[in-house]
A and B are shown apart, each in its own frame.
Chain A
Amino acid sequence: MATLAEEKPALRHLSSIDGGLVMSVLLLSAIGLATVHSASSEMPVDYLPRQALWLGIGVLLLVAAMSIDYHLLLDFSIVLYAVGLVLLVLVLVAGISHGGAAHWARIGPWQFQPSEFAKLATILVLARYLSGLNRRVLALPQILVAVAIVAVPMVLVLVEPDLGSSMMFAPILLGMLLVAGVRLRLLLIAAVVAVVLAAGMWSFGMKSYQRQRVLTFLSPETDPLGAGYQVRQSKIAVGSGEMTGKGYMQGTQSQLRFLPVRHTDFILSVLAEEWGFLGVVTVLGLYSLYVASAARIAMRARDRAGILLVTGLLSVLCFHVLYNSSMVVGFVPITGIPLPFLSYGGSFTMVNFVGTGTMLGVDLRRYVNR
């Protein structure tokens, strides 16, 4: 076994890197840079140079993640998971308050969100656990263990309180369990439990501002300067873009500062206004390309662990894309969920590149056992 795993196949198969995945990431990042520049033209700072820096660091991290054998990551996954939990607790105790919630940690001059790190560690631990279960369909105790693995960091993030980031743990569990094998009946029961839990959350677990957000989503007119105002302005921006858009840097909604946080959560509104439906279709198409490529990598992965690892990473990314794009057209309540590769952001950009690099790493090692 050892001789096979240590064969270092990566360099031999560099030419076989998945072109679809790499191309979609590069194109999305380039579109993101241009849109961030336009979105920040009426802001005190142009975020383009900073985002370019994050992308540069991201590419380096991608290469690094690709070079590491993912079996090594899985071996150390429990340590990484423990570190992630400790970081989350530390942030709870002494985090940097950011808009009322503490989700940033500081190392020297660097700020980052430990929840991003915990997300990756959780995927690794779960992939390791599920890959060791040699069953066609998971038994209930095994499912409960899997739920527990995800629930611990999820709750820690939720009480920070950061509803948006804690939601991100749900697709990890959902996607990986689905692929690892659960009975449909169980999924239905889970859905019922989720509804009950959500009701409990609403009554006991949510801060009033979070409840307010859900309410204003249901009737936007009640809070014109809060979330309702944002949904409305975002829809005006998107809708007025029509088929071909108003032209780069010419979006009246974004240039006249109607749109809030337009360089992060509402970057797609800016793009939709300036590039129209064609721009949106292009971006959604690139995400489809990414999803198809990542699924192809999962399907030809060498082992069960590889399949599950890629599934976990892909699930989180998909959730971001689906939620954010639904949010800007007003399908779902507004919460702080940015768009991968397009939104401005340090930790977030880096995590997406690390995730993509890990997928490529799984792909490069697919031949070893054949």
Chain B
Amino acid sequence: MTAWDEIMQVVREHRDDLIGRVRLLAGTVTGLLVLIGSGFWFVQIAQGDYYRELAENNRLRKLPIIAPRGLIFDRRGRLLVENLPSYNLLVDRSRATALDRSLAFASTVLGRPLADLEDLMERYRSVPVFKPVLLAENLSLAEVARFEVEALEYPEFEVEVQQTRLYRHREQTAHVIGYIGEASPDEIEHSGGAVAPGDVTGKKGIEKRYDAVLRGKDGERVVVVDSRGELLREYGRVPVQPGKDLTLSLDLELQQEAASWLDGPEKVGAIIVMDPRNGEVLALVSSPSFNSNLFTHRLQQDDWQALLDAPNNPLQNRAMQNAYSPGSTFKIVMATAGLSEHLIDEHFHLTCTGSTVIYGHSFRCWRKEGHGTVDVRQALTRSCDVFFYHLGQRLGIERIARYARLFGLGAPTGIDIPGEKEGLVPDAAWSLKTRHQPWYAGETISVAIGQGPMLLTPLQMAAMTAVVANGGYRVTPHVVKNLPYPPPQRANLDPRALAIVRQGLWGVVNDPSGTAYSTAHLPGFDIAGKTGSVQVIAQKTRKENLPFKYRDHGWFTSFAPESDPRLVVSVFVEHGGSGHNASPIAKALYQKYLSIEASHGDAR
């Protein structure tokens, strides 16, 4: 007999015992199920009326306590964004004795046609009747009072208090601060329970980037109400955690001054004012702008359409979401690269006759009569193209690209406003990958003076200028001052080369031959900078009085004071004609800065 047969023998022996006990077990369970079933009978049938009444009157109500969203201040504590209460009218249709009569009453109080409200009700047809639905937004206090007074007659109306956002400076700060809106299903699902349907979340700018900080955590009140919905007493409470306030590095006065320079039709561009020592942004303006208060109420379709149809796309943040050719400002990178690589030294010079021939092509200097004999300082001061054509030929595109990246170009600056573009630093590998053709050596000559495929954002321009100003440290631009940010990092650039470049840039504004002497020179304050213009159409068709959209873009990027820079100002004016239209704006901002400093002291 095998082991299994032995076991089977035993099973046969005790089988009846086991079966009996299984029957006992199953019987017990079934008995318990019957017992539980009678428990349900007791609750649902015997006590059903009681519980139905509880459910209908919903004696316990969970009332959310909405966490106030954090306020936003400028660097000197001036309020930029605040919360205001606004009142919405809800109607609980299951509590209305005669909905027609209720709507008629609401129509007279609100001064809206009855048909409008009836249409609205028609649209709520699929919503269960016991769910309160939104009838009107943004009620006046007088209207709220009318509904409160008639609460006994019309218990179906509920006034809901909501906090809305007020952006005090509207267009002037819109691109930095952004706006809020109703949470999307996607945001709700990815929030891990922090965001519920109907909540608002930041949609753009600081409001979006620091949403979790500003939002806080809603609390909850459980209250006992009577059958009319009147509050009897509080039953329990989960305390609210208010959102955290933010202090920006922005200086409101500088921001407003910057915004005023780009205010008006055909004023398209971007301005960045930054502290080169730590990356604090004192002003960031993109024009045209939009009124961020439009978004705080569920946006009217026509307002939205008007924004989409407006010329030059006001929703686009040109300071960081558009990339442009750097034009002659790129000569800053070129000069640093040439000096660092010892291809030239500070005494090296050549003669500009107004054009030169490289690779069998003639390349023209912007100054037809030429600059004569120039060294690297003068080439920067007077923006000599021929000097940089030859330097570009010696450096080659790979080294140019390497130095451009050392200055932070071709990568996001890391600013704490979402949506930043990374620009483009072209090289041979990029050409093969994107254009499927080898790099053409002649293009290097164009890149040397900032034309060609090289692209950067005005913000990258400011960050690049900061590296020159602070002697070789990359800073991360940021607009929130009271939260930690990355410290400056040493870039692998020769400090002596940067010193020579700074002297050349000082000449641009302070030497009578400099390209910005007539427009940006400020006696007693050593501004250093570089002008640039970007051709929109080919050079031969250019003439005076071109239509707006064909005019050149103008750059001016600068820092001051030259001996110990504490401010970077970068200005980009689309179709501004040339850098000559950008430099006066920078000068005005330095003047504003000096007057603020005189009245308040350094606001570091």
Instruction: Count A interface residues, CB 8 Å.
Output: 66
Q: Which of B17, B44, B58, B60 contacts A280 (CB 8 A)?
A: B44
B308 interface residue, CB < 8 Å from A?
Answer: no
B236 near A229: Cβ-Cβ < 8 Å? yes
From residue 280 to 304 of chain A, which have CB atoms closer than 8 A to chain B? Answer: 280-281, 284, 287-288, 291-292, 294-295, 298-299, 303-304
Q: Which of B4, B39, B220, B236 contacts A326 (CB 8 A)?
A: B39
Distance between Cα atoms of A241 and B47 in the complex (Å): 11
B189 near A303: Cβ-Cβ < 8 Å? no
A136 near B14: Cβ-Cβ < 8 Å? yes
One digit per residue, 1 when the CB lies within 8 angstroms of any chain B CB and 0 when it does not, for chain A 310-328 equals: 0100110010011001100
Distance between Cα atoms of A226 and B201 in the complex (Å): 28
Q: Which residues of B contact A180 (CB under 8 A)?
A: 18
A239 near B5: Cβ-Cβ < 8 Å? no
Distance between Cα atoms of A141 and B87 in the complex (Å): 74
Q: Which residues of B contact A181 (CB under 8 A)?
A: 14, 17-18, 21
Q: Which of A44, A178, A322 contacts B21 (CB 8 A)?
A: A178
B40 interface residue, CB < 8 Å from A?
Answer: yes
Q: How far is the CB of A87 from chain B (nearest CB, A)?
A: 26
A225 interface residue, CB < 8 Å from B?
Answer: yes
Distance between Cα atoms of A368 and B4 in the complex (Å): 13
Distance between Cα atoms of A272 and B37 in the complex (Å): 11
Q: Which residues of B contact A136 (CB under 8 A)?
A: 14, 17
B130 interface residue, CB < 8 Å from A?
Answer: yes
Q: How far is the CB of B39 from chain A (nearest CB, A)?
A: 5
Q: Which residues of A contact B18 (CB under 8 A)?
A: 179-181, 304, 307
Binds B, one of A16-24, A149-157, A248-256: A248-256
Q: Which residues of A contact B24 (CB under 8 A)?
A: 178
A281 near B37: Cβ-Cβ < 8 Å? yes
Binds A, one of B49-57, B373-381, B436-444, B573-581: B49-57
Binds A, one of B28-36, B407-415, B498-506, B508-516: B28-36
A272 near B23: Cβ-Cβ < 8 Å? no
B149 interface residue, CB < 8 Å from A?
Answer: no
Q: Which residues of B contact A281 (CB under 8 A)?
A: 37, 40
A243 near B44: Cβ-Cβ < 8 Å? yes
B26 near A303: Cβ-Cβ < 8 Å? no
Q: Which of A131, A236, A291, A307 contacts B51 (CB 8 A)?
A: A236
From residue 223 to 242 of chain A, which have CB atoms closer than 8 A to chain B? Answer: 224-225, 229, 232-233, 235-242
A284 near B36: Cβ-Cβ < 8 Å? yes
B62 interface residue, CB < 8 Å from A?
Answer: yes
Q: Report if A240-B17 is in contact (Cβ < 8 Å); known contacts: A252-B130, A307-B22.
A: no
Q: Report if A315-B40 is in contact (Cβ < 8 Å); known contacts: A240-B51, A240-B52, A288-B30.
A: no
Q: Report if A329-B22 is in contact (Cβ < 8 Å); known contacts: A252-B55, A303-B8.
A: no
One digit per residue, 1 when the CB lies within 8 angstroms of any chain B CB and 0 when it does not, for chain A 69-105 equals: 0000000000000000000000000000000000000
Q: Which of B7, B11, B58, B222 contacts A252 (CB 8 A)?
A: B58
Q: Which residues of B contact A241 (CB under 8 A)?
A: 44, 48
Distance between Cα atoms of A147 and B21 in the complex (Å): 19
A256 near B44: Cβ-Cβ < 8 Å? no
Q: Report if A239-B222 is in contact (Cβ < 8 Å); known contacts: A299-B19, A322-B33.
A: no
Distance between Cα atoms of A1 and B84 in the complex (Å): 84
Q: Which of B13, B51, B189 has the most CB of A within 10 A?
A: B51
A292 near B30: Cβ-Cβ < 8 Å? yes
A45 interface residue, CB < 8 Å from B?
Answer: yes
B25 near A304: Cβ-Cβ < 8 Å? no
Instruction: Count B interface residues, CB 8 Å.
Output: 57
B22 near A311: Cβ-Cβ < 8 Å? yes
Distance between Cα atoms of A129 and B517 in the complex (Å): 97
Q: Which residues of B contact A45 (CB under 8 A)?
A: 189
Q: How far is the CB of A363 from chain B (nearest CB, A)?
A: 14
B550 interface residue, CB < 8 Å from A?
Answer: no
From residue 120 to 157 of chain B, which have CB atoms closer than 8 A to chain A? Answer: 128, 130-131
Q: Report if A242-B48 is in contact (Cβ < 8 Å); known contacts: A255-B128, A304-B14.
A: yes
B128 near A272: Cβ-Cβ < 8 Å? no
Distance between Cα atoms of A329 and B51 in the complex (Å): 12
B43 interface residue, CB < 8 Å from A?
Answer: yes
Q: Which of A1, A242, A277 contacts B5 (CB 8 A)?
A: A1
Q: How far is the CB of A40 from chain B (nearest CB, A)?
A: 12
Query: Closest residue of chain B to A224, judged by CB?
Result: B236
Q: Which of B21, B36, B58 contacts A331 (CB 8 A)?
A: B36
A132 interface residue, CB < 8 Å from B?
Answer: yes
One digit per residue, 1 when the CB lies within 8 angstroms of any chain A CB and 0 when it does not, for chain B 438-482 equals: 000000000000000000000000000000000000000000000
A242 near B52: Cβ-Cβ < 8 Å? yes
B55 near A237: Cβ-Cβ < 8 Å? yes
B17 near A295: Cβ-Cβ < 8 Å? no
The secondary-structure label for the interface of chain B is helix
B238 interface residue, CB < 8 Å from A?
Answer: yes
Q: How far is the CB of A276 from chain B (nearest CB, A)?
A: 7
Query: Closest residue of chain A to B193, judged by CB?
Result: A44
B45 interface residue, CB < 8 Å from A?
Answer: yes
Q: Which residues of A contact B62 (CB under 8 A)?
A: 257-258
Q: Which residues of A contact B196 (CB under 8 A)?
A: 44
A131 near B8: Cβ-Cβ < 8 Å? no
B235 interface residue, CB < 8 Å from A?
Answer: yes
From residue 1 to 55 of chain A, which have CB atoms closer than 8 A to chain B? Answer: 1, 5, 42, 44-45
Distance between Cα atoms of A273 and B51 in the complex (Å): 11
Query: Closest residue of chain B to A175, judged by CB?
Result: B25
A299 near B8: Cβ-Cβ < 8 Å? no
Q: Which residues of A contact B44 (CB under 8 A)?
A: 238-239, 241-243, 272, 276-277, 280
A134 interface residue, CB < 8 Å from B?
Answer: yes
From residue 204 to 237 of chain A, which have CB atoms closer than 8 A to chain B? Answer: 224-225, 229, 232-233, 235-237
A303 near B52: Cβ-Cβ < 8 Å? no
Query: Closest residue of chain A to B27, judged by CB?
Result: A295
One digit per residue, 1 when the CB lies within 8 angstroms of any chain B CB and 0 when it does not, for chain A 265-278 equals: 00000001100110
A178 near B58: Cβ-Cβ < 8 Å? no
B2 interface residue, CB < 8 Å from A?
Answer: yes
Distance between Cα atoms of A291 and B36 in the complex (Å): 15
Q: How far is the CB of A214 from chain B (nearest CB, A)?
A: 19
Q: Which residues of A contact B22 (CB under 8 A)?
A: 179, 295, 298-299, 307, 311
A203 interface residue, CB < 8 Å from B?
Answer: no
Q: Which residues of A contact B419 (CB under 8 A)?
A: none
Q: Which of B17, B25, B60 contacts A232 (CB 8 A)?
A: B60
Distance between Cα atoms of A322 and B55 in the complex (Å): 26
Q: Which residues of B contact A134 (CB under 8 A)?
A: 7, 10, 13-14
B7 near A304: Cβ-Cβ < 8 Å? yes
A329 near B130: Cβ-Cβ < 8 Å? no
Q: Which residues of B contact A175 (CB under 8 A)?
A: 25
Distance between Cα atoms of A225 and B64 in the complex (Å): 13
B51 near A284: Cβ-Cβ < 8 Å? no
B60 near A233: Cβ-Cβ < 8 Å? yes
B235 near A224: Cβ-Cβ < 8 Å? yes
B7 near A303: Cβ-Cβ < 8 Å? yes
Distance between Cα atoms of A45 and B13 in the complex (Å): 56
A238 near B51: Cβ-Cβ < 8 Å? yes
A318 near B29: Cβ-Cβ < 8 Å? yes
A-B contact pairs, 14 of them (CB 8 A): A44-B188, A180-B18, A236-B54, A239-B47, A239-B52, A241-B48, A243-B45, A277-B40, A281-B40, A291-B29, A298-B19, A303-B7, A304-B18, A314-B26
New contact pairs (16) apart from A242-B48, A322-B29, CB-CB < 8 Å: A1-B3, A1-B4, A5-B4, A136-B14, A225-B238, A229-B236, A238-B44, A255-B130, A256-B131, A280-B40, A281-B40, A284-B37, A284-B40, A295-B23, A298-B22, A307-B18
Q: Which A residues lie at the B interface, using CB under 8 A?
A: 1, 5, 42, 44-45, 131-132, 134, 136, 175, 178-181, 224-225, 229, 232-233, 235-243, 249-250, 252-253, 255-258, 272-273, 276-277, 280-281, 284, 287-288, 291-292, 294-295, 298-299, 303-304, 307, 311, 314-315, 318, 321-322, 325-326, 329-331, 369
Q: Which 7 A-B pairs have the closest CB atoms?
A: A239-B51, A295-B26, A240-B55, A224-B236, A134-B10, A1-B4, A242-B48
